[in-house]
Structure formats: C-alpha cells, structure tokens
C-alpha cells in the first residue's frame, strides 16, 4: 500500500534543494550541470526560494561556470533574484578557489606535478587583459616559494621591467611562464 505524505504541498519541486545537497555529499560536483552548481551556491544564501532559474540564466548570460564566477558583481546583480548577498557569495567562492590553488601549489613539488603548475598558472593568468611574464621561485626541493610578475605589456608594446628584475631571491629561479596574447 502506498501512503501519501500528509505534509506534502503537491509541489513537484519540493525537496529539490535537499536532493541537490545529497547528490553533492555523495559524489561532489560530478554529474552536476553548471547551472546546478550555481543553483547550489545560490541556495546557501537564499532561504526557501527556488533559484534554479537564476542558475540557468547566469550560465546562459556568462556562458559557463567559470564565466559566472568571473563575472563582475554589477553584472551578476542584473539577474533577477541575484542580489548583493548572492553575488558576494559567488565572488567568495572564486577567491577561495584562487587561494586554495595557490596554497596547494606552494606545498606541491614542482617537478613532480606539472599539471598542478599548469592548473595554478592557468587560473592565475587566464583572465589578464595584457601579457605578463611571471617567475616562479623554487627552493632546492623544487617547491614554489613565491611567484612574481616581472614584466607587463601588450602584443604591440615593449616589456617594461618590474621591480622583481633586480630583486635577489634566495631560491633557484624556476619556470618562467608567459601568457602570450594574439
């Protein structure tokens, strides 16, 4: 015998947030659509309101999860239902990810983790609107001690040495990544 839930409102979306949280707890973000990730974030600061449409609109407007995380706060707020608190939450997640990658990179042996270096530098440099010549300073165990931008410019300008050019660092100079723009 099937019994009906006497507390059910008949709303097919009832329990949706709970199901999203349970899916995340079981398998992380694996299998989530980008809009569901944004929806999950928005649901943390928007009590008892459906935020699926805001998640879908954010992905439609900015193209991807990355696009939403990198969107200016003013642009995020143009989406109905995403206010100051929601946009702040999204920006906090973006900055936490940056700090996490940087700290993880500082602990990881460089020569043993080329993909981790790429991930860190890609995240740190991909949104720059100008070219940057970056130096990673390594210790003798090939771990990153620091990173520094030495030069900045554009494709049609000369590089201008930054203060790091003359600054000694007590480390082996390591990889010198450059985000050449065409």
Which residue in this structure is represented by tokens 């100008």? 130
Instruction: Enumerate residues 6+ apart whose C-beta is below 8 A from 82.
Output: 42, 54, 58, 76
> What is the rounded CA–CA span in Å between residue 61 and residue 75?
9
Round the CA-based radius of gyration of the chain to a whole number and report it: 22
In the structure encoding, which two tokens stand for residue 76, read together? 């995020």
Q: Are 108 and 143 in contact, with CB atoms under 8 Å apart?
A: yes
In the structure encoding, which two tokens stand for residue 139, read together? 């210790």
31-65 per-position pLDDT tens digit: 899 999 999 999 888 877 889 999 999 999 999 99
121-172 per-position pLDDT tens digit: 787 787 777 788 888 887 777 777 777 888 777 655 555 554 444 444 444 5
pLDDT band of 77, cuts 50, 70, 90? very high
CA dihedral sign of residues 64, 116, 42, 89 = negative
Q: What is the DSSP string of 46-65?
A: STTS--HHHHHHHHHHHSSH
78-133 per-position pLDDT tens digit: 999 999 999 999 999 999 988 888 787 777 666 567 777 787 778 778 777 778 88
Strands 131-138 and 144-153: antiparallel
- On the question of pLDDT at 4 being above 50, the answer is no
Q: Give the model's pLDDT for residue 163.
A: 47
In the structure encoding, which two tokens stand for residue 181, read together? 């723009």
> What is the rounded CA–CA span in Å between residue 13 and residue 138?
52
> What is the rounded CA–CA span in Å between residue 47 and residue 152?
44
- pTM of this prediction? 0.60
Which residue in this structure is represented by tokens 């999204």? 90
Q: Give the model's pLDDT for residue 112.
A: 65
Q: In the beta sheet, which residues pair with residue 133? A: 151, 178
């Amino acid at each position: 015998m099937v019994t009906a839930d006497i507390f059910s409102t008949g709303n097919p979306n009832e329990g949706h947030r709970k199901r999203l949280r349970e899916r995340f707890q079981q398998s992380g973000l694996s299998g989530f659509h980008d809009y569901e990730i944004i929806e999950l974030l928005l649901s943390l600061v928007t009590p008892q309101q459906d935020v699926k449409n805001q998640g879908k609109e954010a992905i439609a407007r900015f193209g991807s999860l990355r696009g939403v995380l990198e969107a200016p706060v003013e642009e995020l707020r143009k989406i109905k239902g995403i206010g100051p608190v929601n946009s702040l939450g999204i920006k906090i997640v973006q900055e936490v990810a940056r700090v996490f990658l940087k700290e993880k990179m500082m602990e990881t042996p460089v020569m043993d983790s080329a993909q981790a270096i790429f991930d860190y530098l890609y995240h740190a440099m991909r949104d720059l609107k100008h070219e940057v010549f970056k130096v990673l300073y390594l210790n003798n165990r090939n771990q990153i001690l620091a990173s520094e931008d030495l030069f900045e410019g554009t494709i049609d300008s000369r590089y201008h040495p930054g203060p790091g050019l003359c600054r000694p660092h007590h480390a082996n100079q390591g990889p010198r990544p450059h985000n050449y723009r065409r």
